[in-house]
Amino acid sequence: MDIKQLLSKMTLEQKLAQMSQFNAICLMPDSQGGVTGPARSLDLTESELAAVGSTLNFIGAEEMIKIQDMHLAQDPLKIPLLFMQDVVHGYRTIYPIPLAMGATFDPDLMQECASMAAKESAVAGVNVTFGPMVDLCRDARWGRNMESTGEDPYLNCLMSAAQVKGFQGDMTGKYDIAACVKHFAAYGGAEAGRDYNTVDVSERNLRDYYFPAYKAAVDAGVEMVMTSFNLINGVPSSGNKWLVDGVLRKEWGFDKIVISDYNAFREMKVHGYCESDKDCAYRAIEGGSDIEMMSPCYLKHIPALIEEGKVSMEQIDKAVLRILELKNKMGLFENPYRSASVEEQNKFFLCDEHRDICRKAAEKAAVLLKNDGVLPLCDKTKSIAVIGPFANVGMIGFWSCAGKEEEATTVLQGIKKLVPNAKVEYAEGCDKDDVATPCDEMIAKAVEVAKNASVAVLCLGEHRTMAGEGNSRSCIGISEAQKTLIKKVKEVCDKVVVVLFNGRPLVITDFMDDANAILTMWQPGTEGGSACANLLFGKTNFEGRLPMSFPYTVGQCPIYYNNMRTGRPLKRDFKTSGYTSRYMDAPNAPLFPFGYGLSYTNFEISEPQISATSLKRGGAIKVSATVKNTGKEDGVALVQMYINDCVASLVRPVKEMKGFEKVSLRAGEEKTVEFTITEDMLIFWSANGKFETENGDFAVFVGLDASENRSVKFTLCD
């Protein structure tokens, strides 16, 4: 399609309609839709609605084809709609939430999962997914941690690029879909972990920590960027010219589509940044955004802004060309249904191959937090009590698209299938909701079941509705009812295993001692139950490591490993260290640090060795350490390399991850792991307001989690 020629035929109204996106329900070809349907409050005219450029929130191939047909029949220019959807961790077959995928430290697996999701989405008619979500997360209270891969910029960059590659392929394949990285920028920096709240961060914090994962997606060729709801230093991202036009477009060279978040242009009024919808339209187009999601500021007010000379037709044409370009690239002009196919949906949805990927991912994502030896369970265990509000629920997590709880395996099903000869008894124990008052009757039933069992597996934590958009929490423990349940069960059964389901780090300090073993499955998706059973019985070993610190108490939030030093660091016990940076009632360190996780074997790591004590700019040196499996089982160690810039023009974090390697070791085996250190790893946003390195001393740590403090030094010199 010659899109420039097409553009020359378009009226201003048609162009602005291309730049507008409304929910599928507004476009439905039956009585629900049209200007008098759900779109009523948007005050659209029939011709505006007929020429709309894209839509979101539709269900499956059949609906997509129906909407596309109706649209093409109405649109005088017959420009196909682009169909977008939040495919965050699977379409119908649901893989673990992105936070869990962070715990795998396995970008290849992340890419495989994204590619599987793309395939199911493509056949369901999705052209663009609103993912990956790569917001840096430092505050466990924020509900949307579950969508991100965690607190570390290095890991997030790898996972960001992996998802883009997985979704998009090379954009020519039948099942490739376009990706949209979000939420640009720093949405995860919401004050107090409260969703949609203000973000106020320094430029160096943005550049060094928050920006890199978005940039990684851009560098990987992402087709679209979504701006965030929040303010950044007083200016909403939706109308932030410095952010979008400056950093994204001019500095990073991104010349593809920028879309708003849901109704976010209009919310600039609520923020107190714009005084009218017209002002919102002006700020957004000036900012550099192309598509407005779910509000009609562009449609209604750009004509007047053009007349007044505040906005040029050139700006509009640029935006429209970007949109038409993507439609053209995806072949929509030739085939407006692209890969939508009911037949292929039936073939791919929940197929064995996809379920297998999900199981593998859920196994690799699970993190063992405590184990006094009760795990793994023996195949010959005679009687097992499976208890808890999440023991017989498919834990697919928030943003699970077309996924269904009832299609996911539960822990109860997984255990029953794996050990068919054991006596497995189930009790719900307490309610799913975060109820404060335990229900005595339910608990009594659970105690009865536990009494007769040789081990009790308690499935606790958060239901999927407790983490996700809008679901921030000020208390991040488990409910009082769940805590009582653990205590009561422990009174009658001496082997208690707590399986947590969670979309964020939880505070587990207050029940740590009551459980013999604790593990997190996160929100593991379609094969969560079978993966959990395999792990509990040692059919597979734990290899997941925490992608976010687990706080000791919620009062420590935000907490992350790559923090700055203070002038008065805590030296002794927190209770006795007056006039130091401390809490009087809690340690400074988290309960479990970033990178932490146990397995069914033990690993030891040697002091690091360095190949040279000076690194010349442009050169390379090596750091190595030997990791040994000192236990009795085979296992996978995650060897992590961190660097600290000892003195710099702007204070640098105590350490930053710069590399990791997963190492498979048979029992008793040892291997030496080597990392190459190059100058680009030492770059940061300096006091000169640019990315550069500074000569001087650096410390390198090689360890098994972020608390490693043995280091070697080297000097960067000319």
67 close to 29: Cβ distance less than 8 angstroms: yes
450, 489 Cβ separation under 8 angstroms: yes
Give the nearest distance from C-beta 56 to ligand BGC in angstroms.
6
Q: Sketch the per residue contact string, 422 through 461, with ligand BGC: x for CB under 6 A, - otherwise.
A: ----------------------------------------
Q: How far apart are CA 27 and CA 39, in angstroms?
A: 8
Taking each continuous run of H as one helix and of E as one strand, the counts in the chain are 20, 27
The one-letter amino acid at 536:
L
| The Cα angle at residue 277 between residues 273 and 283, in degrees rounded to 5 | 55
Letters for 204-243 (x = contact with ligand BGC by CB under 6 A, - = none) are: ----------------------------------------
89 counts as binding ligand BGC under rule CB under 6 A: no
Nearer to ligand BGC, 225 or 248 (CB): 225
Rounded to a whole number of angstroms, the minimum distance from the CB of residue 136 to ligand BGC is 15
Question: How many chain residues interact with ligand BGC (CB under 6 A)?
Answer: 7
Q: Give yes or no for a cis peptide into 183 (omega within 30° of 0).
A: yes
Residue 64: CB minimum distance to ligand BGC, A: 16
- CB nearer to ligand BGC: pick between 182 and 652: 182
Where b means 16+ CB within 10 Å and e means fewer, 365-396 reads bbbbbbbeebbbbeeebeebbbbbbbbbbbbb
| Four-point Cα dihedral 518, 521, 527, 529, nearest 10 | 30
Enumerate residues 267-306 that contact ligand BGC by CB under 6 A.
none
Residue (190 or 368) nearer to ligand BGC, CB: 190
Q: Which is nearer to ligand BGC, 262 or 574 (CB)?
A: 262
Min dist CB 202 to ligand BGC, Å, is 24
Distances (CA, A) of 247 to 163, 240, 252: 22, 10, 6
130 vs 596, which CB is nearer to ligand BGC? 130
Cis peptide before 524 (omega within 30 of 0): no
Q: Which is nearer to ligand BGC, 223 or 708 (CB)?
A: 223
Determine which residue in the list 261, 267, 277, 708 makes contact with ligand BGC, applying CB under 6 A. Answer: 261
- Could you say which of 242, 252, 262, 574 contacts ligand BGC (CB under 6 A)? 262
Q: Which of 75, 86, 152, 261 is catalytic?
A: 261
Helix ranges, 629-670 (H): none
Binding mask 37-66 for ligand BGC (x = CB under 6 A): -------------------x----------
Using CB under 6 A as the binding rule, whether residue 708 contacts ligand BGC is answered as: no
Which of 148, 482 has the CB closer to ligand BGC? 148
Note if 261 is an active site residue: yes
Q: Is 574 in the site for ligand BGC (CB under 6 A)?
A: no
φ, ψ of residue 78 in degrees (nearest 5): 55, 45
Do residues 134 and 211 lie in contact, with contact meaning Cβ atoms separated by under 8 Å?
no
Radius of gyration of the chain (CA): 26
Cβ–Cβ under 8 Å, residues 396 and 405: yes
Q: Which C-beta is closer to ligand BGC: that of 98 or that of 429?
A: 98
- SS3 (DSSP) at 7: helix
Letter for the amino acid at 395? Answer: M
According to DSSP H, which parts of 135-255 are helical? 153-168, 203-205, 212-219
- Residue 469 found at the interface with ligand BGC (CB under 6 A): yes
The least distance separating ligand BGC from the CB of residue 146, rounded to whole angstroms, comes to 12
- The site map against ligand BGC for 114-133 (x = CB under 6 A) is ----------------x---
Q: How far is the CB of 86 from ligand BGC (least distance, A)?
A: 5
d(CA 141, CA 471): 9
Instruction: Give yes or no for residue 86 binding ligand BGC (CB under 6 A).
Output: yes
DSSP string, 35-50: TTTGGGGGT--HHHHH
- Judged by CB, which is closer to ligand BGC: 184, or 714? 184
Question: Least separation, in Å, of the C-beta of 147 and ligand BGC?
Answer: 8
| CA-closest candidate to residue 591, choices 566, 557, 621, 564 | 557
Q: Shortest Cβ contact with ligand BGC: which residue?
A: 130
Q: For residue 288, give the nearest of 268, 308, 267, 259 by alpha carbon.
A: 259
Contact status, residue 377 vs residue 385, Cβ threshold 8 Å = no
CB of 42 to ligand BGC, least distance (A): 16
| Phi, psi (degrees; rounded to nearest 5) at 62 | -60, -45
What residue type is 130 in one-letter code?
A: F
Pairing of strands 496-501, 517-520: parallel
Cβ proximity to ligand BGC: between 130 and 561 the closer is: 130
Q: Which listed residue (165, 182, 207, 266) binds ligand BGC by CB under 6 A?
A: 182
Residue 164 near residue 179 (C-beta atoms within 8 A): yes
Q: How near is the Cβ of 166 to ligand BGC at its closest, in Å?
A: 18
| CA 298, 303, 306, 308 torsion-angle sign | negative
Q: How far is the CB of 15 from ligand BGC (least distance, A)?
A: 23
Contacts with ligand BGC by CB under 6 A lie at 56, 86, 130, 182, 261-262, 469
What is the set of active-site residues?
Answer: 261
